[in-house]
Chain A
Amino acid sequence: MDAPFAQNPDMRSREFVAGGWRTLVVLASVALALRTVDAIPGWLSGLPRGVHLCPSLREAEARTGLRLDRIAPIAARTAGSIRATASPVPAVAIVLDDDRSQLTFFRSRGGSIPTLLRPPPSAFHEIAVPLKPGLSASLKAERQADGSVWQDLEWSEGEITTALRFGGRTVELLRVARQLVEAAP
């Protein structure tokens, strides 16, 4: 831009608009690049945005503020993966494996367990099951694509919602659930 160019108001305003567009493109590119870099770990690990894979229960507690030290009855099983999310409500999902069957433990505070962690069960059968006096849980049975039947047990105490998803026998699922309820403060 030389002196005569700068003195021409029409050219100046045109240059101003072009400069504005260039700046906008720069800022948009940077924002897009940041968003892309942010999304890469999720794409590679298959985890949706906002769901974190935690290396330990302590890390999951730090991220969500949920107390997980009372799950001793099921913590003896090998923890396969610990996923946590803070939004829309703080929640964790812990996959526990043993040599017979797989158990997934869910817990959330202030609302139902987010679908990011637990897809809503497509139940063909649902009954209420008492866990202790004054506390009953909802037991749902759902059939998987491979024909196997999984059970989903969910109950709430105060603002804490807990759920267990299990591929084994109902009796064992209820035993684990009662142990958890008894262990709770």
Chain B
Amino acid sequence: MGRRAAECILHGIVTAVVVMMVLRAQRIRNPEARLRCWLFAMAVPLLGTPLFWLLSPWRLDEHFRDRWALFSASHSSPWAWHGVELATALAWLLAFAGAALFLRDVIPFVLDFARGRSVKRTATSPSAVLAGAVERAAAALSIALPRLTLLQSQHPILSCRGLRKPVIVASTGLCEMLSPDELAAAIAHEMAHVKHRDPMLGWGLMSVRALCFFNPAVQLAARAAAGEIERRADRSAACVVGNTRSLVDSLRKLAGSASASHLSRSWHRLRVAAIEERCQALLREKNTDPTAISPWMLLATAMGLGAILFLTVA
């Protein structure tokens, strides 16, 4: 069991490294393509590695390791300390790192969720500006009008919720803080999440992270995927409003005003840094970036990676 978990970690790391290098080498900037690559990186240790065990159990034999394997953790057997091999110690260390990364993201999320539920907020009828922004974004993105909830709160709140029936939740504080153009851009961003069914994707990512809590590569790939989901929504919003500057301004205002009362300072700093990176990307990049990688190239890369992973044994 331990050896199989170690192989999941090893395959996750190799896949994440290959994905990162391919994204750089091919200069892929399109968030949609990048998101698919990171989802692939998450899927490999979850599905690909168990498939190897199922189809070729002889991969784990000593003969295969010694004769054919590109890398076998058992070859580090000369390095042991008090009977504990280096490879085993390293696997444990990586598993702890994976669990730490998972807890690092899940604890603030759970606390945020729990506190949000405990605070009673009264809903009010949306203003004409807000309703108009939602209608315009829905028309531009060719999606059905989602339910809109406006909360009575001084804090700027804006989110897209709901797995099957999406709801856009905004607050009066948000409407006061943002100018009409910025509000339209921020709403377009959330509507892009509705279009791409991102809340469902987000829960899916969290489920995979919980399942592979010990795998640091899966945790990092999920973080990268979450970043690409946001960048994809940013791009769609910039297309809808036709004004990147107002979207950037709204993102910066929201990041600056985000309450750090129930989030740790370092977590808050990370969040602000991530938003600033998205703003820079929006200002720097063109929306016309194509996928830039053909399906044949993806297939060839996946097959090459599959061959490498087949010959990589924990």
Chain A residues at the B interface, C-beta cutoff of 8 Å: 1-3, 6, 16, 19-20, 22-27, 29-31, 34-35, 37-39, 41-42, 44-45, 47, 49-50, 52-55, 63-64, 85-87, 90
Q: CA–CA, A90 to B14, complex, Å?
A: 30
Distance A39 CA – B72 CA, assembled complex (angstroms): 10
The chain B residues found within 8 Å of chain A, CB to CB, are 14, 17-18, 21-22, 25-26, 61-63, 65-67, 69-72, 74-80, 83, 86, 286, 288, 290, 292-294, 297, 300-301, 304-305, 308, 311-312
In the bound complex, do residue B67 and residue A35 qualify as a contact, i.e. CB atoms below 8 Å apart? no
Contacting pair A53 B305 (CB below 8 A): no
Decide: B21 and A29 in contact? CB cutoff 8 A: yes
Given contacts A19-B26, A22-B25, contact A41 B78 (CB under 8 A): yes
Alpha-carbon gap, A1 to B75, bound state (A):
45
Contact, CB under 8 Å: A3 / B301? no
Write out the residue numbers on chain B whose beta carbons fall within 8 Å of the beta carbon of A55: 80, 83
Question: Which residues of chain A are near B74, meaning CB under 8 Å?
Answer: 52
CA distance in complex: A30, B15 (Å): 10
A16 to B, closest residue via Cβ: B294
| A1-B292, A38-B69, A41-B79 as given contacts; A27 in contact with B26, CB under 8 Å | no
CB pair A49–B66 under 8 Å, yes or no, is yes
User: Which of B63, B80, B290 meets A86, CB within 8 Å?
Assistant: B63
Asked if B25 contacts A1 (CB within 8 A), the reply is no
Among candidates B21, B62, B80, B290, residue contacting A63 with C-beta atoms closer than 8 Å: B62
- Contact between chains at A38 and B63 (CB < 8 Å): no
B301 touches A35 (CB 8 A): no
Q: Are A2 and B22 in contact (CB under 8 A)?
A: no
